[in-house]
Amino acid sequence: MRRSIGRNLSFCAVAATMVAVGAAAPPSAAPGDSGGSHDGPRKVPVAVGYGGAVSSVDADASAAGIEVLRNGGNAVDAAVATAAALGVTEPYSSGVGGGGYFVYYDAESRKVHTIDGRETAPLTAGSDLFLENGKPLAFADAVTSGLGVGTPGTPATWQSALDAWGSERLATVLRPAEKLARDGFTVDETFRSQTAANEARFRNFPDTVKLFLPGGQLPAVGSTLNNPDLARTYQELARKGVGAVYRGDIGADIVRTVNKPPVDPASGYNARPGRLSAKDLRAYTAKYQAPSKASYRGLGVYSMAPSSSGGTTVGEALNILERTDLSKASDVRYLHRYIEASRIAFADRGRWVGDPAFEDVPTKQLLSQRFADARECLIKDDAVLTSPVAPGDPRRPGRCGEAGDKAAPTTYEGENTTHLTTADKWGNVVSYTLTIEQTGGSGITVPGRGFLLNNELTDFSFAPADPEVHDPNLPGPGKRPRSSISPTIVLDKAGKPVVAVGSPGGATIITTVLQTLTGFLDRGLPLVDAIAAPRASQRNAAQTELEPGLYDSPLRAELEAVGHSFKPNPEIGAATGVQRLPNGKWLAAAEPVRRGGGSAMVVTPGK
């Protein structure tokens, strides 16, 4: 983000300006065109054409998906190929050691399906998992430890998606990523800066230093980073299948690493051991489940149901906004209403959403228009709600403002994740968000395997925020921690896709997806402009976070006059999306600027 952007510009003009500034090449640039200092695909934020589309944060990863589509694979095959490549080039956000949520639209049946591939707590975990001497462990100590590592779900998600809806074998779709890991990728400024931000904790682990600090130094921008260990891991998965993780040698190495983190003795760091076992790996399943669904402006908005809170929270906020004509609202009124709807939806999320295998989550009621109407009446155009807002009770929607319980603050979630979207020539669509939680996950590399382990269990509440209020997100045996991941597909009245979007960003994922959808569906922004627009994120906190494009604009003062309080956030999310166009065309869109810009590609570029 650049602070010059947004001064004296309207909200929509800010978005358009960001696209112009961030565009790296013409929208028609073909995948595989070289640019910059190395031979390889270059990043463009928007591409239009035929035969299918892929959008991710990385050009090499998007190219891997396009290669699969060109060879006859479908959107699911391309999604797995892109995800595997992101495990090479975005290893601090995704990989074999993490998890995620997969949303799939089947063009033949016109139905949406999802896979919950969230990591799980060990079967021996209790609600005291992060208590030490009766007190919650310091967050930093939990993050860089074996204790925060959950059973990985990504390999099971890949195989489950391919089994149900793919047309290629796992070995086939892993081939581009295996080659990329072996031959290496070019280090950019984003990768170097992420490495630098993690350097201190990475140096506690010799295997992480060997992989990501070659020669003991930060990788230079423009240098090539190889990962031969990950190439061999992908080869093993290709030969043996994901059973190598859940019942085989890769899994044994994961368990050994979690339970005895390989710390450099000279560092003096206390990497607390985890409790993962071979039994935990054998017991893991990626869950096929029904999507969440909200109706908005006559469209069907499909996303992830719990264990993620993404679908219910985005859906509730959209339902709250249903009564407001956002297309005609001023920029100030639009942002005010969007912020307040987010504030209320996060209040309800914190009270009601957890792993439905352990908690009675009222998913249907949270997404009911009746409940949203009982919450929408709290919003006033000339005043701001005071956070934390108390939750409502979706099971018994009462009078306006009637609380369902005491208010509780929103818990922290790691903000580095990655999202990809794919579509194919048959009309199938995938929206897939995958993660290892914190930037760099736990910081612990599995020796000889080339991937970092997640620290996803730190998404649990370490202890109840209020002992008198039930917390649905405490740890438990085999429990999935609550997530904010919100991969979303929007269908029209005929059941055909309109748009698919998603984003990384921890709890800001929800607000990023919500703002992108309203920008595109209500404000009339082109998809790439809706993605580029400067963001605001309110999560039932005293202050709303603003990116520089809004923080430095006149809109901030106008919103403060209503009663809003703000703090700056340099960058929120890194969204990608695809849009169905007439006559078999697809538009792929990605970030022009955030996280170094994303990569949108189509199989056959066209006007």
Tokens of 425: 């020539």
Other beta carbons within 10 angstroms of residue 153's beta carbon come to 30
Provide the β-strand partners of residue 590.
Answer: 576
Which among 248, 397, 257, 206 has a CA at the least distance from the CA of 320? 397
Radius of gyration of the chain measured on its C-alpha atoms: 22
Query: Could you give the count of Cα atoms lying within 13 Å of 118 in the half-sphere of its Cβ?
Result: 31
Strand partners, 452: 445
* Coil/strand/helix, residue 522: coil
Three-class SS state of 581: coil
Q: Of 581, 594, 596, which is closest to residue 49 (Cα–Cα)?
A: 581
Element (H, E) at 101: strand 99-106
Type of residue numbered 579: Q
Residue tagged 């869950």 (tokens): 287
Tokens 């190889």: give the residue. Answer: 226
**Beta strand 429-435 pairing with 488-491:** unpaired
Half-sphere exposure of 573 (CA within 13 A, CB side): 36
In whole angstroms, what is the distance from residue 314 CA to residue 393 CA? 17
The helix or strand, by DSSP H or E, that contains position 577, with its residue range, turns out to be strand 576-580
- 139: helix, coil or strand? helix
CA angle 427, 578, 56 (to 5 degrees): 120
- Give yes or no: 445 in active site: no
Outline where 482-563 has alpha helix (H): 508-521, 527-532, 548-551, 554-562
Distance, in Å, from the CA atom of 138 to the CA atom of 158, rounded to the nearest integer, reads: 34
Specify whether the CB–CB gap between 79 and 430 falls below 8 A. yes
Are 421 and 500 spatial neighbours (Cβ–Cβ below 8 Å)? yes
Phi-psi region of 16 (alpha: psi -120 to 50; beta: other; left: phi over 0): alpha
Longest dimension (CA), the chain: 65
Q: Residue for token digits 């999310």?
A: 573
| CB environment 462-497: b (16+ within 10 A), e (fewer) | bbebeeeeebbbbbbebbbbbbbbbbbbbbeeeeeb
Strand partners, 556: none
Backbone angles phi, psi at 495, to 5 degrees: 80, 20
The position carrying tokens 């609202």 is: 329
Determine which one of 114, 151, 410, 417 is catalytic: 417
Which stretches does DSSP call E strand in 207-283? Answer: 224-225
Catalytic residues: 417
